[in-house]
Every structure is written in C-alpha cells, then in structure tokens.
Amino acid sequence: MSKKKKTFIFVTMAAVLILGVTIFVMWMNPGNTDISPLLPATEQVHTGQRLEISFSYEKLRSIASSQFAFWIEDMDGNYVDTLYATHFTAQGGFNRRPTSIAQWVSAAQPANMNPSEIDAISGATPITGDYLAYWDFTDSSGKLVVDTQYRYFIEATMNFDDNLIYSGVITIGEEKWDDSPLPEYSIQDSRYKEMITNVRVSYYPS
C-alpha cells in the first residue's frame, strides 16, 4: 500500500472518529449552546425594573420529557408574552406531540408565529442547573404593558401527559416582592417532580 493511500485512510478514519464523538456529545447534551432566553443563575445581568424567575432544573432522560415554557397573561386570560419555551415544542413539536406543554401552546399559538418570533423566545433544552428568566414588561410585539396586574405561568411536560404548572399574580408597583409558588401536578405520584423545583418569582421596581 502506498504512503499516499495510507495517509488518506488515516485521515478518513480520524474524521469519522471526530464526527462520531461530536454526534455522541450532542446526543448526550443536545443544544447546550443555544439557551439565550435563559441565563445561568450566576449571570444576573438584568438591572432596573424587572420580573425575575429563578428555578432549579433537572434534565430528564425519559422519552417525551424536558419540555417547559414561561409566559404571561393579563388578568382576563389573554396572552401577553412568552419568556421562554423549549425549542422542540416551539418549533412545531406540538403537532407531533399534542401533550407537550399544551397550555402554553393553547395560549401562545406558536403555529401563528413567524420564525423570528419563535427564535426570540425559544432555546434548546438546557443542561441540569439553576437558571433565571426575565420579563421586561413588554408584550409579544415589544410594547410596554399598561396594566398593574398580570399572571405568570410556568408549565412543564415531564413525561408524555405527566405535567406540572406554577402560576401566580404579578403586581407592578413601587414595592419589591417575592413569591414562591407551589406546583400543581397532573399526576400526583409522578416520578419526575424533580424536573423544575425551587421556583421563586421576584419583582424589582427599579
């Protein structure tokens, strides 16, 4: 076998090995580079008036799991804005898996959003860790809201139709406040309750 042919075989094998490792890493930790709507809890870069949602997340390895969304509605139940939604569901996964964060899908109607809107609110499923989400008091069109009370919702699909939801009232005023909502489970004895925990919602007037 010629030296040139040996070199070609070696380079090809190395390329295949690198590709295989890359695919394996992506399979074990898909999309970890694209979680822009969320911030690690150590990166509190937002200041001034804001709503801050902190939470602990544990990535599940079960099928049809690890989907979640944060969104805002007015007090009459009208959709206002999405702070974050996992990429799979936001990008059309709701068609293939209707139980995936179904309350958010019903409220936000992602099927009617254009690609730039989807990109702005969605991100790949993050790795296990502590995260922050923010609301800057604008609606889905970027306009500042005018009312003083809204409702927040945090929905997670833990496994097929095994879901949880946190919710509460947002009061926009001059006083700082904190809320530690309790989750409601669709299956009370769920084995996946650790997916989203330690939720804390804080309002900062300035």
Residues in the chain: 206
The three-class DSSP label of residue 172 is coil
Residue 71 contacts residue 82 (beta carbons within 8 Å): yes
Model confidence at 206, pLDDT cuts 50, 70, 90, reads: confident
pLDDT at 24 > cutoff 80: no
pLDDT at 31: 35
**For residue range 153-175, what is the model confidence (pLDDT) as tens digits?**
999 999 999 999 999 999 999 99
Which is more confident, 125 or 14? 125
Residue 148 CB neighbours (<10 A): 10
Q: 68 — phi, psi (to 5°)?
A: -155, 160
